[in-house]
Protein backbone atom coordinates (compact mmCIF):
# COMPACT_ATOMS: atom_id res chain seq x y z
CA UNK A 1 0.00 0.00 0.00
CA UNK A 2 1.05 3.55 -0.61
CA UNK A 3 2.05 6.22 1.85
CA UNK A 4 -0.99 8.33 2.74
CA UNK A 5 -1.69 11.45 0.71
CA UNK A 6 -1.68 13.31 4.02
CA UNK A 7 2.02 13.69 3.34
CA UNK A 8 1.74 15.40 -0.04
CA UNK A 9 -1.20 17.44 1.22
CA UNK A 10 0.91 18.65 4.14
CA UNK A 11 3.69 19.69 1.80
CA UNK A 12 1.15 21.45 -0.40
CA UNK A 13 -0.08 23.34 2.66
CA UNK A 14 3.43 24.59 3.40
CA UNK A 15 3.86 25.68 -0.19
CA UNK A 16 0.59 27.60 -0.02
CA UNK A 17 1.37 29.33 3.23
CA UNK A 18 4.76 30.40 1.96
CA UNK A 19 3.34 31.64 -1.32
CA UNK A 20 0.31 33.51 -0.01
CA UNK A 21 0.97 34.59 3.55
CA UNK A 22 1.62 38.16 2.51
CA UNK A 23 -1.63 38.54 0.61
CA UNK A 24 -4.20 36.28 2.23
CA UNK A 25 -5.28 34.84 5.53
CA UNK A 26 -4.47 31.15 5.34
CA UNK A 27 -7.70 29.61 6.63
CA UNK A 28 -8.59 25.97 6.30
CA UNK A 29 -11.15 27.01 3.71
CA UNK A 30 -8.56 28.81 1.62
CA UNK A 31 -6.13 25.91 1.81
CA UNK A 32 -8.91 23.42 1.08
CA UNK A 33 -9.59 25.37 -2.11
CA UNK A 34 -6.04 24.95 -3.37
CA UNK A 35 -5.62 21.32 -2.33
CA UNK A 36 -9.17 20.51 -3.38
CA UNK A 37 -10.30 18.56 -0.35
CA UNK A 38 -12.73 19.16 2.50
CA UNK A 39 -11.64 21.86 4.96
CA UNK A 40 -11.88 19.37 7.83
CA UNK A 41 -9.21 17.26 6.20
CA UNK A 42 -6.98 20.33 6.15
CA UNK A 43 -7.73 21.15 9.78
CA UNK A 44 -6.83 17.68 10.89
CA UNK A 45 -3.47 17.91 9.15
CA UNK A 46 -2.90 21.43 10.50
CA UNK A 47 -3.41 20.01 13.98
CA UNK A 48 -0.75 17.38 13.37
CA UNK A 49 1.69 19.94 12.00
CA UNK A 50 0.98 22.15 14.98
CA UNK A 51 1.56 19.28 17.41
CA UNK A 52 4.94 18.80 15.76
CA UNK A 53 5.75 22.49 16.31
CA UNK A 54 6.01 23.26 12.64
CA UNK A 55 3.17 25.76 12.38
CA UNK A 56 0.76 27.77 14.50
CA UNK A 57 -2.95 28.07 13.95
CA UNK A 58 -4.96 31.00 15.28
CA UNK A 59 -8.16 29.92 16.85
CA UNK A 60 -11.03 32.32 16.37
CA UNK A 61 -9.12 34.75 14.25
CA UNK A 62 -8.14 32.08 11.80
CA UNK A 63 -5.12 31.39 9.67
CA UNK A 64 -2.02 29.25 9.80
CA UNK A 65 1.60 30.31 9.74
CA UNK A 66 4.98 28.64 9.71
CA UNK A 67 7.11 28.96 12.83
CA UNK A 68 10.58 28.08 11.54
CA UNK A 69 12.81 29.07 8.67
CA UNK A 70 11.75 27.06 5.64
CA UNK A 71 15.17 25.51 5.22
CA UNK A 72 14.96 24.06 8.73
CA UNK A 73 11.87 22.01 7.99
CA UNK A 74 12.71 18.77 6.22
CA UNK A 75 10.34 16.45 4.41
CA UNK A 76 11.12 13.96 7.15
CA UNK A 77 9.76 16.36 9.76
CA UNK A 78 6.56 16.66 7.80
CA UNK A 79 6.36 12.93 7.16
CA UNK A 80 6.73 12.22 10.84
CA UNK A 81 4.23 14.87 11.81
CA UNK A 82 1.42 13.41 9.73
CA UNK A 83 2.08 9.85 10.87
CA UNK A 84 1.96 8.04 7.59
CA UNK A 85 3.13 4.71 9.03
CA UNK A 86 2.28 2.95 12.27
CA UNK A 87 4.87 3.17 15.05
CA UNK A 88 7.27 4.63 12.53
CA UNK A 89 7.67 1.20 10.93
CA UNK A 90 7.56 1.29 7.16
CA UNK A 91 7.12 -2.46 6.73
CA UNK A 92 4.25 -4.48 8.04
CA UNK A 93 5.76 -7.72 9.34
CA UNK A 94 3.41 -10.72 9.38
CA UNK A 95 2.30 -11.00 12.96
CA UNK A 96 2.70 -14.59 14.09
CA UNK A 97 5.42 -16.64 12.46
CA UNK A 98 5.33 -20.13 13.93
CA UNK A 99 7.72 -20.37 16.91
CA UNK A 100 7.85 -24.15 16.50
CA UNK A 101 9.58 -23.72 13.14
CA UNK A 102 13.26 -22.81 13.22
CA UNK A 103 12.79 -20.37 10.38
CA UNK A 104 9.56 -19.05 11.85
CA UNK A 105 11.14 -18.16 15.16
CA UNK A 106 14.26 -16.58 13.66
CA UNK A 107 12.99 -14.73 10.62
CA UNK A 108 12.40 -11.61 12.63
CA UNK A 109 15.97 -11.59 13.88
CA UNK A 110 17.33 -12.16 10.42
CA UNK A 111 15.18 -9.60 8.66
CA UNK A 112 14.59 -6.73 11.07
CA UNK A 113 17.97 -5.04 10.72
CA UNK A 114 17.72 -5.16 6.95
CA UNK A 115 14.26 -3.65 6.87
CA UNK A 116 15.59 -0.99 9.19
CA UNK A 117 18.45 -0.21 6.83
CA UNK A 118 16.03 0.20 3.94
CA UNK A 119 13.81 2.50 5.96
CA UNK A 120 16.83 4.51 7.06
CA UNK A 121 17.91 5.01 3.47
CA UNK A 122 14.52 6.44 2.67
CA UNK A 123 14.39 8.66 5.74
CA UNK A 124 17.89 9.95 5.15
CA UNK A 125 16.88 11.12 1.72
CA UNK A 126 13.82 12.80 3.21
CA UNK A 127 16.06 14.64 5.64
CA UNK A 128 18.06 16.10 2.79
CA UNK A 129 15.09 17.88 1.24
CA UNK A 130 13.53 20.90 2.91
CA UNK A 131 10.35 22.88 2.50
CA UNK A 132 12.52 25.67 1.18
CA UNK A 133 13.47 23.49 -1.81
CA UNK A 134 9.80 22.85 -2.54
CA UNK A 135 8.82 26.50 -2.19
CA UNK A 136 11.70 27.64 -4.34
CA UNK A 137 10.91 25.19 -7.13
CA UNK A 138 7.20 25.94 -6.97
CA UNK A 139 7.94 29.64 -7.39
CA UNK A 140 10.22 28.88 -10.29
CA UNK A 141 7.49 26.94 -12.06
CA UNK A 142 5.00 29.73 -11.40
CA UNK A 143 7.36 32.35 -12.83
CA UNK A 144 8.00 30.19 -15.83
CA UNK A 145 4.26 30.31 -16.53
CA UNK A 146 4.31 34.10 -16.74
CA UNK A 147 6.68 34.26 -19.63
Partner DNA sequence: GCATGTTGTAACACTTTATCTTACAACTGA
Partner DNA sequence: TCAGTTGTAAGATAAAGTGTTACAACATGC
Chosen from a second copy, DNA, none, partner binding at 20 (C-beta under 5 to 8 Å by type): a second copy
Q: Which stretch, 26-34, 66-74, 104-112, 134-142, contacts DNA (CB under 7 A)?
A: 26-34
Query: Which residues are near a second copy by CB under 8 A?
Result: 1-5, 7-9, 11-12, 15-16, 19-20, 33-37, 75, 84-86, 89-98, 101-104, 106-107, 109-111, 114-115, 117-122, 124-126, 129, 133-134, 137-138, 140-142, 145
SS3 of 8-46: HHHHHHHHHHHHHCCCCCCCHHHHHHHHCCCHHHHHHHH
Query: Is residue 19 part of the contact set for DNA (CB under 7 A)?
Result: no
d(CA 71, CA 138): 15
d(CA 114, CA 120): 10
Q: Are 111 and 103 in contact, with CB atoms under 8 Å apart?
A: no
Minimum distance, C-beta of residue 107 to DNA, in the bound complex (Å): 15
Can you give the length of the chain in residues? 147
Cβ distance to a second copy smaller for residue 3 or 51: 3
Minimum distance, C-beta of residue 27 to a second copy, in the bound complex (Å): 14
Amino acid sequence: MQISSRFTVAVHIFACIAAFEKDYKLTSDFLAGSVNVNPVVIRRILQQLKAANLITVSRGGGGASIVKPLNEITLFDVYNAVECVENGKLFHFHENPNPKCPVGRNIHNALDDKLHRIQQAMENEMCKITIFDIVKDTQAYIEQENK
